[in-house]
Amino acid sequence: GAVIGIIGGGQLGAMMATAARTMGYRIAVLDPDPTAPTAAIADHAITAPYNDPDAARQLAECSDIVTYEFEHIDLDTLALIADVGRLPQGSHLIRISQHRRLEKEAITALGLPVAPYANIMSADDLDMATASIRFPAVLKTCMGGYDGKGQVVVKHRSELEDAWRQLGDHAPLVLEQWIPFEREISVIVARSTTGETRCLPTAENEHCQNILHRTQVPARIAADVDARAQQIAMTLAEGLKLVGTLAVELFVGRDGTLYVNELAPRPHNSGHFSIDACETSQFEQHVRAICGLPLGDTRLLSPVVMENILGQHIAPLMARLTHLESLHLHLYGKARVVSQRKMGHLTALGPSTADCMRRLDQFWAASAAEAE
Ligand code: ATP
Ligand code: MG
Ligand code: MG
């Protein structure tokens, strides 16, 4: 079978690899950590920094197609792989999604809504920004942020200088108006090399300390809001010439207004529900899209709730491992258990998302009771 090379050996790479293997592909992976989740299941693991040009060339040589599981990849490294014709996704979308300002410009150029924002290149821009942005707001670095790192909430104008002192060294920044959202949702869309485009069902996301906690599907939104969210994802996929998978994070305002928060040009944590609950998972869809296969049916087979398992949840989980009969456990096989680190996820399927929520709550309540 053909070989798919993956840059990055984390859980997203591993779940891509698992899907690809069932479809008959073999897997090569590039990651600096030889114990990374994907390395354990790959046919060929290259242990080197992501941005090592020799390692990138090696990955391209031993793969028919190269893809990636995260977007913070050096563009010169990607160019080496594109030059030998092994990068069907290209690097256009990576370049945009590495930089919040470019991302917002690309979204607004397609006529799609984002929260009001102002560019902050230097301290001189702070005063100007306050003329157009109301408070509360949030100051964000344009590059390198994730899980809320590189962000400072600015409740009032008077806190802006202090926020600048914290983040100014990492400029360029954007100052973004705070959206008093009713819900956060995401749409994961896949577009194939052939141009075929399909969305997964819209997911509703709840974060704890800026890390995804639970995703429920169907999202509790009106049908017209859902239709608009899916249309936004389709417009982005076509307008940005997506190949592969794109996660679109959105805020739903109190009146149903949608704002695109950010993009991730890859399978996404909020799409993990699709492994157990959809006809085709986001990982299989990603492989289909980059290989030019027909896209799969994305129908939701059951209401579902996905919950992340972080490092601090591992001990209580292990104590109740024999009580998981009605929940689907996915552990990523990470060697080091660290608080707030994503170690796995649980999926509950049931007659309603409320029922799934209740069973997850009961599982953790029983685990807490046992610990006492
Ligand atoms: P990720 O790990 O998803 O890449 P990130 O560090 O890039 O996260 P964002 O998605 O920009 O961060 O923000 C993290 C969370 O903070 C959002 O999911 C949302 O809950 C909240 N948030 C960020 N910006 C805003 C805003 N303008 N209005 C309201 N809430 C916001
Ligand atoms: Mg982000
Ligand atoms: Mg986000």
Nearest atom, ligand 1, residue 249 CA: 10
Q: What is the DSSP string of 25-59?
A: -EEEEEES-TTSHHHHH-SEEEES-TT-HHHHHHH
**From ligand 2's centre to the CA of 174, what distance in Å?**
13
- Confidence class of residue 149 from pLDDT cuts 50, 70 and 90? very high
**From ligand 1's centre to the CA of 103, what distance in Å?**
14
pLDDT in tens, 181-230: 999 999 999 999 999 999 999 999 999 999 999 999 999 999 999 999 99
Nearest residue by C-alpha to atom 31 in ligand 1? 178
Mean of pLDDT values over 112-117 = 98
Nearest residue by C-alpha to atom 16 in ligand 1? 210
pLDDT in tens, 3-58: 999 999 999 999 999 999 999 999 999 999 999 999 989 999 999 999 999 999 99
Is 364 annotated as a binding-site member? no
3-class DSSP state for residue 189?
Answer: strand
**From ligand 1's centre to the CA of 16, what distance in Å?**
25
**Which strand (E) or helix (H) includes residue 125?**
helix 125-132
Is 372 annotated as a binding-site member? no
Dist CA 208 CA 51 (whole Å): 32
- Confidence class of residue 325 from pLDDT cuts 50, 70 and 90? confident
pLDDT in tens, 255-307: 999 999 999 999 999 999 999 999 999 999 999 999 999 999 999 999 999 99
- Confidence class of residue 70 from pLDDT cuts 50, 70 and 90? very high
- Given this model, what pLDDT does residue 231 score? 98
Q: Which residue has the tokens 């899907």?
A: 19
Q: Among the bound ligands, name the one nearest to the CA of residue 147.
A: 1
**From ligand 2's centre to the CA of 142, what distance in Å?**
10
Q: Which residue has the tokens 């309603």?
A: 352
**From ligand 1's centre to the CA of 211, what distance in Å?**
9
**From ligand 3's centre to the CA of 246, what distance in Å?**
13
294-300 long-range Cβ contacts below 8 angstroms, 24+ apart: 294/192, 294/196, 295/190, 295/192, 295/196, 295/197, 295/198, 296/198, 298/198, 298/199, 298/200, 298/201, 298/274, 299/201, 300/201, 300/217, 300/218
- Given this model, what pLDDT does residue 160 score? 96
- Given this model, what pLDDT does residue 236 score? 98
Nearest residue by C-alpha to atom 17 in ligand 1? 210
Is 145 annotated as a binding-site member? yes
Dist CA 241 CA 303 (whole Å): 31
Q: Which residues form ligand 1's pocket by a CB distance below 6 Å?
A: 115, 138, 145-149, 176, 178-179, 181, 184, 207, 210, 249, 261-262
- Given this model, what pLDDT does residue 371 score? 73
**Average of per-residue pLDDT values in the chain:** 96
Q: Which residue has the higher pLDDT, 63 or 326?
A: 63
Q: Which domains does the chain have, with CATH numbers?
A: 3-87 (3.40.50.20), 116-177 (3.30.1490.20), 183-371 (3.30.470.20)
Dist CA 135 CA 160 (whole Å): 10
- Given this model, what pLDDT does residue 372 score? 73
**From ligand 1's centre to the CA of 176, what distance in Å?**
10
Nearest atom, ligand 1, residue 115 CA: 27
Query: What pTM was computed for the model?
Result: 0.97
Nearest atom, ligand 1, residue 205 CA: 18
Is 342 annotated as a binding-site member? no
Mean of pLDDT values over 79-102 = 96
Dist CA 30 CA 53 (whole Å): 11
- Given this model, what pLDDT does residue 176 score? 98
Structure tokens at 330: 């996915």
Burial degree of 370 (CB within 10 A; 0-12, 13-18, 19+): exposed
Q: Which residue has the tokens 């693991």?
A: 45
The percentage of residues in the chain with a pLDDT greater than 70, rounded to a whole number, is: 100
Pocket test for ligand 1, best of 261, 263, 268, 341 (most atoms within 8 A of CB): 261
Nearest atom, ligand 1, residue 264 CA: 4
Pocket test for ligand 1, best of 210, 250, 308 (most atoms within 8 A of CB): 210
- Given this model, what pLDDT does residue 37 score? 96
- Given this model, what pLDDT does residue 186 score? 99
Is 249 annotated as a binding-site member? no
Instruction: Flag whether pLDDT at 134 surpasses 90.
Output: yes
- Given this model, what pLDDT does residue 370 score? 79
Is 117 annotated as a binding-site member? no
pLDDT in tens, 228-242: 999 999 999 999 999
Is 334 annotated as a binding-site member? no
- Given this model, what pLDDT does residue 255 score? 93
